[in-house]
Structures are given as structure tokens and as C-alpha cells.
Structure 1
Amino acid sequence: MTATVTPPPAAPVTRAVAKRQGLVRLRREGAFAPAAAFVVFLIVYIIINPELLTRFQLQTAANLVVPLAFVALGQLLIVLVGGIDISIGAIMSLSNVVFAAQTELVPVPIAVLMGLATGLACGLFNGFLVSYGGLPAIAVTLASAFIFGSLAREVMDRPGGNITTEFHLATSGEAIPFVPVALVWLTLIAVLLWFILQRTALGRHIYGVGSNMDSIRAAGLNSRLTKLAAFGIAGVLTATGAIMLAGSTMTGDPRSGDPYLLSSIAAVALAGASFTGGRGSIIGTILAGITLGLIGNLLFFAGINSYWQYVISALIIVSVVGIPVVWRKVSFARKGARS
């Protein structure tokens, strides 16, 4: 009779181990850089404008940065599957004016659904041409940017709409003192997006399509459908940002999304996402979006022309993308010289 050997119980995952695993994941996804940039920026901002910590300033700042954070999350999804969306600003404009125009005709909940459906339709249009048509994402979205932008001007040729005060308070007011509602909505949707990307098969496929397409195909997974889903979800996120913007400004504007294209790309770059796909952080993208969204305010309080915000965003993209390339070349040159 042989004695059975009972294996020792697995060591429980302590809080310290879980914390280390979380830090490793953040480092791997590139979230440390935007987190550090956010902390430094926030300290500088408070020094220049201490009133940021007042209730009114917090609410105003939240309403300013939350739409950009949503659009940046949409851009992140496209980058994760190895693409880039040039039409994301036009999608935002079209969703914004569709929602604002429909508030004059139908109840607000239906108008919200129509705005979200507009973003979904735009995303699926791009995704179908990219995934099933085999066209480059940058070419498809560049062309669709003109289409969506023209449609936005057809829906509403000037700012307008009938956004109610109740909707404004529900999207841009305060949940409780010092807690802007806009941040609550952003947190809830960011958690849902995190769950999709980290805890579902679709999320694993999205990361896999961007990082190793051959492995995805070898495993018999539908990479085309995954890309289509990523574009569709990105469209919904962008439309959510457009609706939040309409709620804070209480109007629709056919050019409302124009400033968000460059800022969304800069936020994803600052968040450490790989533009070849497969690497990116939700929390890093949100923090980067908040940082970039407040740059204009910081420049204003510092007495600098706010148009420099676009220059700073462009420099961030060039720096984040270019510095690692230059560093690798320098390191390679040094190794060659030593050998």
C-alpha cells in the first residue's frame, strides 16, 4: 500500500504580493510615466492656481477633462489592435450634434441612445473597412473623417440644441460636495472597460491581435471580428465623451470634436501605449488625458497663450515616440564601439 502524499496548500496571495503584481502590471503597461507626469503637473498646477481645490474649480476642471479622457480611451482601443483613428474627432462632432439635435424632438434617454448609436455606427464603419476590407486604419479613418465631419455639418450647421438643466446636472453637476458627477461617470465606465479588457476573452483577443497576430490566427481565433469589436467600442466611448461635452456646454457644435484628435493621440502616447499594438494602460490613458486637458488652463493662469497647448501636445507625441528610438540607436552604437 503506497502512502499518498498531500501537496502543501498553495501560499495565499497576500496583500503585499497582490500589490507587487499590480505594480509590475502598471510598469509593463507603461502607466508609471503618465502617473508621475500627472503628480508633477498637479503639484505645479496647484502652486500656480491654488483655487483648483475649491468646489467650483474642481467641477469645472472635471467637466473640461472628462470628454478628452473618454475620447482617449477610444483611441487607446484602436491603438491596442495596431491602428490609429484619425476620424475620432469627427465621430465626436457627429455624435455630439446628433444627440443635441434629437433632444429637441425626443426624450433625453432616447437622444442619448441615438448619440451612442451614432458613435457605434461610425466605429463599425471604420472597423469593417479595416478588418474585412484589409485597408490601413490610418487611410480609412482619414477618409471617414471628412465623411463624418460633413455629416455633422448637415445635421447642425451652427451650435444649438435644447440640452435641459436636469441633464446638465446629471452629467456635469456634483454627486456629493467635492465629487463631480463627470468623474463618477468616467470611473464607472473605466472600470467596465477594464473588466472587458482584463477579464474577458474579447479583451485578451484585443491585446493579442495587436501584439501577435500570427498566434491569434494559429489559435483559430477571429482576428477580424476582434478588430471590428474594438472599433465599435471605441466609437461608443467617443460618443460618450461627446454627450458629456454636450451636457457640460448645454449645446451641440458641429466642430466640437476638432481639438480632440491630436489630444487623444498625445494622451495615448504619454500613457506609454505601443503604436504597433498590444500594449496600453487604461489608468495611464485617463491620467494622461487629464494632464493634457488641464494644460490649457495652466498656461492661462501662467499668462501664456493657450494656443501653445497644441505645440506642447505635438512635442509630447514626438518625444514619447522618438526618444526610445534614439535611445536604442545610441545604445546600439555604444555596444558596437565597445566590441
Structure 2
Amino acid sequence: MSAVTPPVSRFGFLNGTGITRLRREGAIAPIGAFVIFFVVYVAINPSLLTRFQLQTAANLVVPLALVALGQLIIVLVGGIDISIGAIMSLSNVVFAVQMETMPVPVAILIGLATGLACGLFNGLLVAYGGFPAIAVTLASAFIFGSLSREVLDAPGGGITKEFYLATSGELLPFLPISLVWLAVVAVLLWLLLQRTALGRHIYGVGSNMESVRAAGLNARLTKLIAFGLSGVLVSIGAILLAGSTVTGDPRSGDPYLLSSIAAVALSGAAFTGGRGSIIGTILAACTLGLIGNLLFFAGINSYWQYVISALIIVAVVGIPVVWRRVAFAVKGARS
């Protein structure tokens, strides 16, 4: 039996087949939602198109987009990561502390290694221990959160102005460099998921575990790698967040758990695994981030963003269920 392939075709985005793939991945809705919300946002707050506002908005949404991509990888293999905010906090403070004494490349590698180690810890327990992902990551969230407060008990670290400019400044006028970093990561992740055997296995584990096993593929190893990859993506977001805030914070990842789940839900990914879109997830994260930004400029408490994120999750999960029930009832009435 041949290797399991992701339930999408593998051609360019700018043709009919690319549109079909986006539809199958559930990405059409988040793309449309982002376009509509962006137009409304600019109409309400035209200053978004100024250089300062663009840079501020980019630095706000890029860490969320990267964490959401990390959550997407776990969802693709049929799980969910409750510890993702704690992983971000731990990677953030480890990197910030290392910046005080280590060269920047070494500090970055240590920050990435922290996220990788956290992901592999979860992956080992889920893939080889056989424990439910939600239970494992709920427990590890407390562990990683406690470790982050041991590393740094208050905001601090050695983030420099040069690092801020390299991660959160402007590459060119009206082009925030954080968006460039996000684009690089997104393209590499897309190539991994769509052009490699590992990507096909990740989709396959989530969509059809029995086919993966029948094909002789190592589903456990695939899950382990998926958790490790997710940890690396989250740590990249943590490092960019440290650059934009010029500090490390042991609670920096707390707001990202619910938002990452909401972004994946809004992206059209299937929480049963096997379906999800990188572009949909990024645009969904951008939409949620801009909602928070709009609430801030409107003078509304930013905590309402959590309420909106929760409502999005309920709506995205609940509306299809209600629709199926209504359609079934209508069909039954006609018959």
C-alpha cells in the first residue's frame, strides 16, 4: 500500500486546483473573513496604513500566528496542546536570560532547543506513553509554567535594541521585518507539509490512522516529530515576542493558549485531525490579533478579546452541528 497523502492536491495556489485545495483545507472562510475584517478595520481606523501602525500591528499578530501554526501541527495529528502558552513563556524567558551572557546565535539556539524539548516531552508521553494529548499537555502546562517562573520571576533579560530592530523593525518602508520572518517560516512549513513524506505522514496520522499503520509507517514517531516541530514553531514566536517587547516575561505566553485554539478553529481545521491550512491559520490569527488592536484603539478593555475568541470557537464548532441537525429535521419533515 502506498504512503498516505494529505487530502489536498499539490499544485500552485493561483489555479483552479489551488482553489480546490484551499476549499478542502477549509481556508476559504478565514481568507474571506480576513479580507472583510481588514476592510472594516481600515474604514474605522485608517491610521492602520501608516508606517507606525503597520509595524505595531505586525509585531502584535506575528507571534500569535506562529503559536497558532504550532497548535495547527498538533491538531493535524488529532490532538490539542494545552501547554502551548507555557511553552512560549518558558522559551521566551530562557532566550531573554541567555541574551545577557551568550552571543545572539547561541541564545537563539537555546531558545529553540527549549521549545523543542518541551514538545518532545509532550510527544513522548502522547505517542509512546499512550496518554491523551489534552491530559498530558494540561499537566505539562503547570510544569513548564513553573519552570518559566524559576528562570525569571519578573520581566527582564538582556534583549538589545539591535535585536529589536532585527526582529521587529522595518526591513523597508511599510514592510515590517516581523512579517518577513513569518513568511519565511510559513513557506518552509508549507514545503515540509506538502512536499515531503513527513508532511504526508502528519496529515495521514490525523485523517486515517489505520491506513498509516497498514502502510507500515511509524505513526508514533510521526506524532513525536509533530510535537517537536510544534515546540520549535512556538519558540520562534516566543523569540520574536521577546524582540518586539524588548524583554522576557514568565507570563508572556498566557494569552496565547485560547487565541491559538481560536485561530485554528477559525482557520477551518478539523479538530479530529487530517485537515488544516497554513494560510488559513495565519490569516485567522491576524484577524484575531487585529480585533484586539481595534478594541484597544476603541478604548474597550482588551480582555474582551478573550470573550470574542471563545465565541468564535463555540460558533465554528457549533454552527456545523446545528446546521446538520436543521438539515436532517427539514429532510425528515419533507419525507
Which category of TM-score, normalised to the shorter sequence, fits these structures? over 0.9
Q: Using the alignment, how far apart are the partners of 2:124 and 2:132 within structure 1?
A: 11
Is residue 160 of structure 2 the alignment partner of residue 153 of structure 1? no
Call closer, same or farther: CA 1:258–1:175 in 2, change over 3 Å: same
Q: Using the alignment, how far apart are the partners of 1:309 and 1:163 within structure 2?
A: 28
How much identity, in percent, do the aligned residues show?
Answer: 80
* Runs of at least 5 residues in structure 2 that lack an aligned partner in the other structure: 1-10
Would you say the 8 A contact 1:48–1:302 is kept in 2? Answer: no
Is residue 184 of structure 2 the alignment partner of residue 188 of structure 1? yes
Which residue matches 1:4? none
Which residue matches 2:319? 323
* Runs of at least 5 residues in structure 1 that lack an aligned partner in the other structure: 1-14
Residue 337 of structure 1 deviates from its aligned partner by: 2.0
Call closer, same or farther: CA 1:102–1:192 in 2, change over 3 Å: same
Is residue 17 of structure 2 the alignment partner of residue 21 of structure 1? yes
Which residue matches 1:34? 30
2:222 alignment partner, one of 212, 219, 226: 226
Residue 338 of structure 1 deviates from its aligned partner by: 1.9
Would you say the 8 A contact 1:103–1:111 is kept in 2? Answer: yes
Letter in 2 for 1:19: N
Residue 336 of structure 1 deviates from its aligned partner by: 1.8
Q: Using the alignment, how far apart are the partners of 2:98 and 2:12 within structure 1?
A: 51
Would you say the 8 A contact 1:85–1:137 is kept in 2? Answer: yes
Q: C-alpha root-mean-square deviation of aligned residues, in Å? A: 1.2
Is residue 156 of structure 2 the alignment partner of residue 172 of structure 1? no
1:243 alignment partner, one of 239, 242, 250: 239
Is residue 333 of structure 2 the alignment partner of residue 337 of structure 1? yes
Provide, for residues 207-228 of structure 1, a one-character-per-residue CA deviation record: whole Å limited to 9, x for no partner. Answer: 0000000000000000000000
Q: Using the alignment, how far apart are the partners of 2:245 and 2:307 within structure 1?
A: 25
1:162 alignment partner, one of 117, 137, 158: 158
Letter in 2 for 1:308: W
Which residue matches 1:94? 90
Q: Using the alignment, how far apart are the partners of 1:286 and 1:182 within structure 2?
A: 13
Would you say the 8 A contact 1:96–1:252 is kept in 2? Answer: yes
Provide, for residues 297-330 of structure 1, a one-character-per-residue CA deviation record: whole Å limited to 9, x for no partner. Answer: 1112233222211100000000001100111111
Which residue matches 2:39? 43
Q: Which stretches of structure 1, 4 residues or more, deviate above 4 A after TM superposition?
A: 15-18
1:42-61 equivalences in 2 (<5 Å): 42-61=38-57
Would you say the 8 A contact 2:12–2:18 is kept in 1? Answer: no
State the TM-score, normalized to the length of structure 2.
0.95
SS of equivalent residue, structure 1 residue 228: helix
Call closer, same or farther: CA 1:208–1:158 in 2, change over 3 Å: same
Residue 16 of structure 1 deviates from its aligned partner by: 10
Residue 294 of structure 1 deviates from its aligned partner by: 1.3
SS of equivalent residue, structure 1 residue 272: coil
Letter in 1 for 2:124: F
Would you say the 8 A contact 1:48–1:301 is kept in 2? Answer: no
